[in-house]
Structures are given as structure tokens and as C-alpha cells.
Homo-oligomer: A and B are copies of this chain.
């Protein structure tokens, strides 16, 4: 087969969950697909269209899902793999690339497109002000695929250099202690009053956003639907009359602190 004969694979970011975040580009790619793959609850967000097959799978099966989607596309089918948020941020795009690199040559010949979406940290930040308004990091707290010592090293590096830190995958049933450990680690670098934002299910009907201080963060409930943003020493809270406070990190950093 020449590349032109191959199927097409679109790796599509759905954004935080409500259709108002879905870009026209993503919507077009979903409408054009003959087969849809994804984690079940994400697939459920995509409206049913006649003639499309749907292939839901479990949350922890990214590798198998990626391989199944590539195999299907290599048969000449127009396939879309969906991710919540942005597929390139702790989601399906890297899993697809991993399988493309190691799989059959025909998978590398496919017409693959990655379609960005609003990732959770942007949605949570927008709900509360501008906590990511200065330099920041995005770090997954899952140690399923990396050693916990590496997470600790990155927390140290980011906090001591003054980055705001967005924590993806803070807690799961199989990882009960890691989030508390991470917060304790960050308390070694940052003042107790540092603002910490918890955004759960942002963009969905059961959305919850709260701001606590770093010394109360370890005791604040979080789960796999929660995105946590830990401020830097520069992050500020604006009290407002009759409205919830805003949190932001100023654009200006006057000196090398810490």
C-alpha cells in the first residue's frame, strides 16, 4: 500500500467534558470517523452518529486501545481515538506514538493527525483567575509508569525554582498515599499559606472548584477527576465583594527568590 491507500487515524481532544469546549476541528474529525475508540466515559460524551462503530475500553488499557485503533486504521478505516482534555497531555497521543514506533511498518505509514483540546489545567485555571499566568510545570503524580523518586525530584526542582505546579492524576484507588506525600514534599519549599486549587469535573454538571492553603491541601479530598494547581511564592488571592476570590500569578517576578 502507498500512504494514500491507508486509513486515517485522528487522535481527538474532547476538552473538559461539555460540548462548549469542543473545537470545530475536533467535532469535524469525530463526524468523519467510521470507528471510535476510547475510555468508555469519554466515548459517552460523543454524540451517536449512524454508521459509526464504537469501541470502548477501560481506563488503564491505553496501550491495548492504541494498538487496536492502529490495526483498525491500517485496514483502511477512518478511525478516531478520543481523549478527555488534550490528547497530548498525559493521554492517548503518546500511547499511539509508542505503538507506532514499535508496531508494524504499515502503522507508521498511516495518515495520523493529533487534534488538540482544552487540557484540564487550562480549564481549572480559567475557573479561578490566572494561576498559570507565570512559568509553570505539569506533572503527573501517577507512579505506575515512573519511579516515585523521580516524581519527588521533579517536585523539588519545580517548587524550588518558583514554577507553579499543575498536578495531574493526584489520587487513585491504587495510589492512596502519593498525593499526601507530594504535598508534604512541597511544604519543604513553599510557605504554609501558598494557595492550592482543587478543580474536580470542571466543565461538567458536578463541577467543584475550591482554594485551600498548602498546609490544608493534604487533607483535602481529591480523586482521578481532580486537577490540583499548587501556586508559587508569588501566587496571590484577590478577595472580592459578594464574589468568590480569584487566584493569579503575576507576570512580573522581581528577584530570584527561595
Q: List chain A positions with a Cβ less than 8 A from chain B.
A: 2-3, 13, 15, 19-25, 28, 62, 86-91, 93-98, 100-101, 105, 108-109, 111-112, 114-119, 122-123, 125-127, 129-140, 145-147, 149-150, 153-154, 156-158, 160-163, 236, 238-243, 246, 248-256
Contacts and interface: CB of A to CB of B under 8 A. Distances in A.
A114 B246 CA distance: 11
A246 B87 CA distance: 15
19 contacts: A13-B126, A15-B23, A19-B24, A20-B24, A20-B28, A21-B25, A87-B130, A93-B248, A94-B134, A94-B250, A98-B251, A114-B126, A116-B122, A116-B123, A147-B253, A150-B253, A153-B256, A154-B161, A154-B162
Given A88-B130, A98-B250, A137-B158, 7 more contacts: A23-B118, A87-B130, A100-B238, A109-B243, A114-B129, A147-B253, A150-B256
Contacts of A130: 87-88, 93-94, 96-97, 114
A145 B88 CA distance: 30
Q: Provide the main secondary structure of the chain A interface.
A: mixed
A252 B146 contact: yes
Contacts of A161: 153-154, 156-158
Contacts of A22: 23-24
Contacts of A91: 133
B23 A238 contact: no
Given A136-B137, A161-B153, A238 B97 contact: yes
A230 to B, nearest CB: 14
